[in-house]
């Protein structure tokens, strides 16, 4: 099987490529990534010279580029991770979120349809909006209620994917996942930011009162879920993927402090961001029942693994924080 992975130099995309190539070594993977600030080819050093792996630098928002790649490569499957994904950045500059997440997804769908290519779309629980503390968790039938430009753009892309299934018969599946954490996580998000700041003996910025609740999933379990959907999922269906690990941001913060031997004096409470959703939670009953998937890594174990990875890969995150990782493409490929 030949697979196009979009956004494969990012956090979840690169973890997926490592996961898939270990378990499906006869498959070919083409990684299409624009290499924005969050795309890091250093994530893929161990696979970059393998015969069944190929990297293409390109923008999914460029329909001509996308169509050319589809025609030249002849894929069997698209696994679509590529997205602008940071809520704070979507508040300060929404335009790029619409361009990448909506127009880019449409370009991929159009080319997949022309080339008769199966399409798996990776989305987020944020499209469902915000929950109160005692409300039932999100499931596949929860109405969409996005609250930020980021989640609105992802909601639009989900609708486009379904439209291509219902209108044109494109074989699609969608997954809406809770918050991920693990290796190669770009250090603007909570886990890697807090871990690396503490490793540098810097304070950690905690939004508002710290009582916002998220459901956390170790990234390898997410990759396993996508594999289950690709192998056993029903075309046209959506699957919610959750970690069964609801935690307040404050709980997460104190667990990270404890693992790194730091005290609460390292916390710096900062003004909450606009439209900050109070709680996300996923009911993953459908994928558990129909596909036999469930998370295998507990929150405490996943957090220990994540902290250990950042301790052991200091050069990686220091390069990211300095911006030096962006020179890797030039060093490896000799051109911009």
Complete domains list, the chain, with CATH = 2-184+216-245+279-296+325-333 (3.40.50.720)
Report how far Cα 39 is from the mean position of its chain's Cα atoms: 12
Contacts of 323 by beta carbon, 8 Å cutoff, 6+ apart: none
Mean of the pLDDT values across residues 248-273? 93
**From the CB of residue 212, how many other CB atoms can be counted at a distance below 10 Å?**
21
Predicted local confidence at residue 331, as pLDDT: 65
Predicted local confidence at residue 311, as pLDDT: 97
Q: Is 31 helix (H, G, I), strand (E, B) or coil?
A: strand
Residue-wise pLDDT for 114-163, tens only, equals 999 999 999 999 999 999 988 999 999 999 999 989 999 999 999 999 99
Q: Which residues are catalytic?
A: 125-126, 150
- Residue 85 pLDDT > 90, yes or no? no
- Residue 64 pLDDT > 80, yes or no? yes
- The pLDDT-based confidence of 336 (bands split at 50, 70, 90) is very low
Tokens of 142: 């929860």
Q: 96 burial class (0-12, 13-18, 19+ CB within 10 angstroms)?
A: middle
Q: Above pLDDT 70, what percent of the chain?
A: 96
Predicted local confidence at residue 328, as pLDDT: 57
Tokens of 201: 């003996």
Residue-wise pLDDT for 185-217, tens only, equals 998 889 999 999 999 999 998 988 888 999 999
Q: Whose CA is closest to 101, among 86, 84, 77, 121?
A: 84
Mean of the pLDDT values across residues 310-324? 91
For residues 222 and 227, give the distance between their C-alpha atoms in angstroms, rounded to a whole number.
9
Predicted local confidence at residue 276, as pLDDT: 76
CA dihedral 127, 306, 38, 267 (to 10 degrees): 80
Predicted local confidence at residue 263, as pLDDT: 94
**From the CB of residue 104, how many other CB atoms can be counted at a distance below 10 Å?**
26
Predicted local confidence at residue 217, as pLDDT: 98
For residues 18 and 240, give the distance between their C-alpha atoms in angstroms, rounded to a whole number.
22
- Residue 330 pLDDT > 70, yes or no? no
Predicted local confidence at residue 335, as pLDDT: 44
Looking at every residue in the chain, the average pLDDT score rounds to 93
- The pLDDT-based confidence of 283 (bands split at 50, 70, 90) is very high
Return phi, psi of residue 149, to 5°: -55, -35
- The pLDDT-based confidence of 278 (bands split at 50, 70, 90) is confident
H helices of the chain, in order, are: 11-23, 63-73, 87-92, 95-98, 105-114, 149-168, 190-199, 219-232, 249-259, 285-291, 299-312, 314-322, 328-333
């Amino acid at each position: 099987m030949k697979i196009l992975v979009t956004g494969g130099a990012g956090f979840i995309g690169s973890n997926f490529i490592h996961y898939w190539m270990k378990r499906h070594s006869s498959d070919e993977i083409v990684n299409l990534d624009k290499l924005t600030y969050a795309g890091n080819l250093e994530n893929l050093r161990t696979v970059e010279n393998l015969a069944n792996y190929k990297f293409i630098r390109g923008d999914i928002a460029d329909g001509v580029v996308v169509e050319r790649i589809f025609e030249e490569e002849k894929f069997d499957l698209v696994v679509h991770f590529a997205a602008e994904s940071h809520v704070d950045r979507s508040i300060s500059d929404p335009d790029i979120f619409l361009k990448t997440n909506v127009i880019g997804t449409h370009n991929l769908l159009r080319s997949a349809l022309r080339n008769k290519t199966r399409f798996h779309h990776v989305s987020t629980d944020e499209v469902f909006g915000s929950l109160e503390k005692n409300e039932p968790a999100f499931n596949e039938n929860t109405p969409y209620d996005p609250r930020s430009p980021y989640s609105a753009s992802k909601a639009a892309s989900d609708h486009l994917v379904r439209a291509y299934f219902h209108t044109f018969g494109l074989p699609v599946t969608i997954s809406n996942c809770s918050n991920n954490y693990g290796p190669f996580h770009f250090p603007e998000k909570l886990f890697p930011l807090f871990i690396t700041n503490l490793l540098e003996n810097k304070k950690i910025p905690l939004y508002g009162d710290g009582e916002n609740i998220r459901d956390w999933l170790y990234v390898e379990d997410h990759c396993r879920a996508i594999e289950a959907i690709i192998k056993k999922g029903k075309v046209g269906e959506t699957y919610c993927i959750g970690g069964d690990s609801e935690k307040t941001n404050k709980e997460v913060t104190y667990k990270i402090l404890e693992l790194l031997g730091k005290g609460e004096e390292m916390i710096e409470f900062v003004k909450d961001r606009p439209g900050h959703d109070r709680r996300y939670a996923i009911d993953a009953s459908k994928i558990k029942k129909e596909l036999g998937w469930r998370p295998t890594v507990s929150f405490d174990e996943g957090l220990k693994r994540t902290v250990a990875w950042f301790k052991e890969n200091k050069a990686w995150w220091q390069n990211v924080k300095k911006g030096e990782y962006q020179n890797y493409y030039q060093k490896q490929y000799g051109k911009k």
